[in-house]
Structure formats: structure tokens, C-alpha cells
Structure 1
Amino acid sequence: MTQPEVPPRELVRISDPQAIRALAHEARLAVLEELFSAQTTRTATELATRCGLTPSAMSYHLRALEKYGFVERAASEGDGRERRWKAAGEDIVVKSFGESPAARYTFLDVQINAFRERIRKEMLRRDAEDASGHGPDEDRAPVLTTGLLFLDEDARQEFTDRMFALIEEFEKRAPQEQRSVDGERMYYMVSMVPDLADQPEKAD
């Protein structure tokens, strides 16, 4: 049986260093995660509630993200009293061409710091849960797991393809009602880096 052709993901490609620097803010990063993952619309008030900001402060950040093409104004819903926003695509590709990598490093720091804070809060929650005697009996998903794999080029490509295919499967599995502003969320961070210890350093 012929498999149906899967349409390519609509990517938002960012190479302007100023646009990359515009992402170096925790609230803006949270907005992008929310809109690109949910693939539905949100108001500034809904996003502000999630980020602990005022609606006016969130509107400022949304306009900045709109300026660089990350988000778009969406069609009004209901009585249309408040503007709605949506992601400008399905995924973001960030790459700075011919520029200092400083903007990308700043963006990376914001991402890592935000995830570090999520891990800290989850560890505190689990400690409190365990101390109260109401911790779950079953094994919980690890807060963080690291390891080392021995992979040649073919195995590395297979592992990467299967890992991202699994992520995409679960991204698409959630029905629209679960993508509401009150829907249950689980954050993840994936990083794969080669061992560079044995590689010679480049001369200046």
C-alpha cells in the first residue's frame, strides 16, 4: 500500500542576529514554546498568565516577536474584544550567517537557564511530595538523565531519526482540546554532542 505523502513542516527560518537577540528573554521564549507547540491561538492575557506578566507587558513582547517574523496576529474569535496571536509556522530554525556567534550563545543560555529553573521547581515539588508521604508508588520519569552512547555515523543517524520521529508522533497525537491554555504540559530538552576530547584544537 502506498503511504500518503507527508507535507513538509512550515519552518520559520531566522538568520538576522537582531532577531536572534530578540529571543534572549525568558518570557519571549515561553511564548514561542507555547504557540509553536500548541499550534493554536492565544491572547496576550492568556500568555501573560502563563508567564507571570501583565497583559500590557506581554503585548510589548508579542509585538517584538511579530517584528522579526516569529508570531502573527490571528483572526478574532468569539466577541473579538482581544487580539489573538499564533505562531508564524510549525517550527523555528535559528542560524546566524556570517556573524558573531554571540547572539546564538545568548539565546542558548536563555533556553538552558529556563530549563534549569523548570528542573529545580520539579525537584522541589517531588521533595515536598515525598516528605508528605503522598509520593507516587510507581517509578516517575527522571527529571534529568544523561549518558554515553557508542555510535558510528550510521547508528547516530538512525538514533537521531527515530528520536525525532517519536517526538513528532506525540506532538501530533494530542487532540486540539488538550492544546488549550489549561492543558497538561511536559517539557523536554534534547541535546546530542560528540566527544571532542581527542580532536586537535584549531590554531588561532
Structure 2
Amino acid sequence: MEEPTPPKVRDLDARSLRGLAHPLRMRLLDALRFDGPATASQLAEKLDESSGATSYHLRQLAAHGFVEDDPERGKGRERWWRAVYRGLSVDSALLHDEDPEVRGAADFYMHEVATSQMRNMSTWLGNRGSWAPEWSQVADMSSDTLRLTPELAEELIEKMHALVAEYRDLAVTRNDPRAERVRVHTHAFPISSD
């Protein structure tokens, strides 16, 4: 059964960013966002952590509103968690905040996101032989270099996000049994012209 996608994107502020900017918390949140509800013990096994650590950090994520109890699953003492949001958004102003702690949390968060995305790609490359050949034929790892102004870069990013959103639940609504979860990363950043 396909898990319902959490409905919205959360805009991170300085307080919530400080609550999230921890490697295990980010991995826990990603596991719940991408793989669906789970218990602290299940997450501990999946992430090779202790259940004490996952329990503590799940409670911290809950205190900051990132995760919540999943009442449809918990029976007795078993506590299930689910993600509240399908995505997160960081205001670039946090990267330039006057508080060095906020800047540090924003910088850490961005580096962890980049590391996670590269880990996704490396995992795909390492496991692609276990997938049907049609998936290897359509997987994409491309890049291009454009000459853009900040305004054109912003326009391009908005169009890419809108296009991805169009495809979000298409396969589910078409009820196609061949549908798989497909991770899409977008990156747009300036590079030196040296």
C-alpha cells in the first residue's frame, strides 16, 4: 500500500533550523518523509543507531513540529512516528543572519542536504544492477552550465520545481503497478568562470 504524502512544505526559521541541524535528526526525518511511518526501534535498526538515540532525537523533532505520533499504528507501548511535512524550505537570509549560531545551523543543514543527495546517487550507482534494465535506461545524471542572471536562475528554478510538482502523484493516480519511488534532485548555483 502506498503511504500518503505529507501535504505541505515547511519554511524553516532560526528556531526550527537549530532544532533540525543535527545529522541523526536529519536522517530520521528523511527516513520518515521518504519511507513512511516507523517506530524508534525500526529507525534505529535501519540507520544503525541505538533505539535510545533515535527515541531522544525523535522527541526533539516532535518538539520542533517536524514529526508527530501516528495514532493509526501505535498499539500499547509501541509508538509510531510520521513526518508532518513532505518538504522543507530554507530562506537564504538564514545563511546571512547576524547570529553566527543561526548561520552555522543553516550552513550545516545545507551541507547535510548535499551529502544526503550524493549518498542517494551513490547508492543508486552501487545498486543499479539489481533494478530492471528499463530503470537503468531512464535514470539521469546530467549537468549543464548556463550563463544566467540571478533573476533568470530564479525563474529556471521555479519552472523546474513546478514541473516536478506536476509529476508528484501521476503514477499513483494512474494506479500503475510498475511505479517506483524516484528521487529527483535539482541543483542550481554559480561557479567560477576561471
Scaled by the length of structure 2, what TM-score is found? 0.67
Q: What is the aligned partner in structure 2 of residue 107 from structure 1?
A: 109
RMSD after superposition: 3.7
In 2, the alpha carbon distance for the partners of 1:62 and 1:90 equals 17
**Aligned match for 1:163, one of 160, 171, 179:** 160
- Mark the CA change 1:16 to 1:49 in structure 2 (over 3 Å): closer, same or farther: same
Instruction: Percent identity, please.
Output: 26
Q: Is this contact kept in 1: 2:66–2:84, CA < 8 A?
A: yes
**Aligned match for 1:173, one of 170, 173, 188:** 170
Q: Is this contact kept in 1: 2:153–2:188, CA < 8 A?
A: no
- Mark the CA change 1:23 to 1:154 in structure 2 (over 3 Å): closer, same or farther: closer
Asked if residue 66 in structure 1 is aligned to residue 57 in structure 2, the reply is no
Kindly state the Cα deviation for residue 68 of structure 1 after the two structures are TM-superposed.
Answer: 2.0
Q: What is the aligned partner in structure 2 of residue 6 from structure 1?
A: none
Instruction: Write the letter of the residue equivalent to 2:82.
Output: K
Q: What is the aligned partner in structure 2 of residue 15 from structure 1?
A: 13
Q: Is this contact kept in 1: 2:74–2:80, CA < 8 A?
A: no
Deviations along 1:20-63, one digit per CA (max 9) or x if unpaired, are: 2443444322322233346x533223333432334332212201
Deviations along 1:151-193, one digit per CA (max 9) or x if unpaired, are: 46775455323311232233333549x9xxxx95433322112
- Mark the CA change 1:170 to 1:53 in structure 2 (over 3 Å): closer, same or farther: farther
Q: Is this contact kept in 2: 1:66–1:72, CA < 8 A?
A: yes
- Mark the CA change 1:26 to 1:91 in structure 2 (over 3 Å): closer, same or farther: same
Which one has a larger percent helix, Structure 1 or Structure 2? 2
Q: Is this contact kept in 2: 1:43–1:82, CA < 8 A?
A: yes
Instruction: Write the letter of the residue equivalent to 1:163.
Output: M
In 2, the alpha carbon distance for the partners of 1:158 and 1:164 equals 10
Higher RCO (CA-CA < 8 Å; seq separation 6+): 1
**Aligned match for 1:190, one of 183, 186, 189:** 186
Q: What is the aligned partner in structure 1 of residue 145 from structure 2?
A: 148
Kindly state the Cα deviation for residue 74 of structure 1 after the two structures are TM-superposed.
Answer: 2.7
Instruction: Write the letter of the residue equivalent to 2:43.
Output: L
Q: 3-state DSSP class of the match of 1:12?
A: strand
Q: Is this contact kept in 2: 1:43–1:85, CA < 8 A?
A: yes
Specify every segment of 5 or more residues in structure 1 that has no aligned partner in the other structure, as ranges.
1-8, 199-204
How many positions carry a matched residue from both structures? 177
